[in-house]
Amino acid sequence: MDNKEPISDPTPEKDAPVNFIEYVFFFLRGLAMGAADVVPGVSGGTIAFITGIYERLLNAIKSVNPTALRILFKEGIPAAWKHVDGSFLASLFAGIVVSLVSLSKILKWCLDIYPQLLYAFFFGLIIASSIYIIRQVKDWNATTIVGLLIGAAIAYTITILAPTEAPNNYWMVFLAGSIAISAMILPGISGSFILLLMGMYRHVLNAATGLDIGFLLVFIAGCLVGLLSFSHLLSWVFKNYKNIALAVLSGFMVGSLNKVWPWQNVLKTRVDSHGNTVPWIKESVLPSSYNGDTYMLYCVLLLIIGFSIVFVLERLGKNSTEG
State the SS3 of the chain.
CCCCCCCCCCHHHHHCCCCHHHHHHHHHHHHHHHHHHHCCCCCHHHHHHHCCCHHHHHHHHHCCCHHHHHHHHHHCHHHHHHHCCHHHHHHHHHHHHHHHHHHHHHHHHHHHHCHHHHHHHHHHHHHHHHHHHHHHCCCCCHHHHHHHHHHHHHHHHHHCCCCCCCCCCHHHHHHHHHHHHHHHCCCCCCHHHHHHHHCCHHHHHHHHHHCCHHHHHHHHHHHHHHHHHHHHHHHHHHHHCHHHHHHHHHHHHHHHHHHHCCCEEEEEEEECCCCCEEEEEEEECCHHHCCCCCCHHHHHHHHHHHHHHHHHHHHHHHHHHHC
pLDDT at 12 over 70: no
**Residue 100 confidence (pLDDT) above 70:** yes
**Structure confidence at residue 16 as a pLDDT band (50, 70, 90):** very low
pLDDT at position 297: 94
- Mean pLDDT value of segment 5-26: 56
Is it the case that residue 196 has pLDDT exceeding 80?
A: no
Name which of 7-16, 89-98, 115-124, 176-185 the model is least confident about. Answer: 7-16
Rounded to an integer, the average pLDDT of 220-228 is: 82
280 within 8 A of 201, measured Cβ to Cβ: no
Position 2 in a domain: no
Q: Which residue has the higher pLDDT, 149 or 215?
A: 149
CA angle 77, 82, 84 (to 5 degrees): 95
89 pLDDT more than 80: yes
How many Å apart are CA 100 and CA 106, to the nearest integer? 10
Residue 3 located in a structural domain: no
Q: How many CA atoms lie within 13 A of 93 on its CB side?
A: 14
Interaxial angle between packed helices 213-240 and 242-256, expressed in degrees from 0 to 180 and rounded to the nearest 10: 130
Mean pLDDT of 33-45: 73
Residue 6 maps to a domain: no
At residue 213, the pLDDT reads 80
- Phi/psi at 283 (nearest 5 deg)? -130, 130
Domain-embedded: residue 271: yes
Mean pLDDT, residues 228-237 taken together: 79
Cβ atoms of 181 and 137 closer than 8 Å: no
Phi–psi pair at 279, nearest 5 degrees: -60, 145
Position with higher pLDDT, 19 vs 5:
19
Q: How many structural domains comprise the chain?
A: 1
Mean pLDDT of the chain: 77
Q: Is residue 45 part of a domain?
A: yes
174 within a domain of the structure (yes/no):
yes
Residues 199, 163 contacting (CB under 8 angstroms): yes
Q: Where residue 299 falls among pLDDT bands split at 50, 70, 90? A: very high
Determine the pLDDT at residue 61: 83
Measured between alpha carbons, how far is 69 from 66 in angstroms, rounded to an integer? 5
Give the model confidence (pLDDT) of 73-85 as tens digits. Answer: 888 888 888 888 8
Tally of residues, the chain: 323
Greater model confidence, 58 or 302: 302
Instruction: Using CA atoms of 92, 95, 99, 101 in order, give the dihedral in degrees to the nearest 10.
Output: 100
- Does residue 281 sit within a domain? yes
- Supply the pTM of this predicted model: 0.68
Q: Is residue 121 part of a domain?
A: yes
Distances (CA, A) of 67 to 58, 70, 79: 16, 5, 11
Show the domain range for 237. Answer: 11-322
pLDDT confidence bin for 126, thresholds 50/70/90: confident
Q: What is the pLDDT of residue 313?
A: 67
**183 vs 28, which has greater pLDDT?**
28
Average confidence (pLDDT) over 293-297:
90
Is a pLDDT exceeding 70 seen at residue 293? yes
pLDDT of residue 207: 75
Mean pLDDT of 56-63: 83
Calculate mean pLDDT across residues 244-266. 84
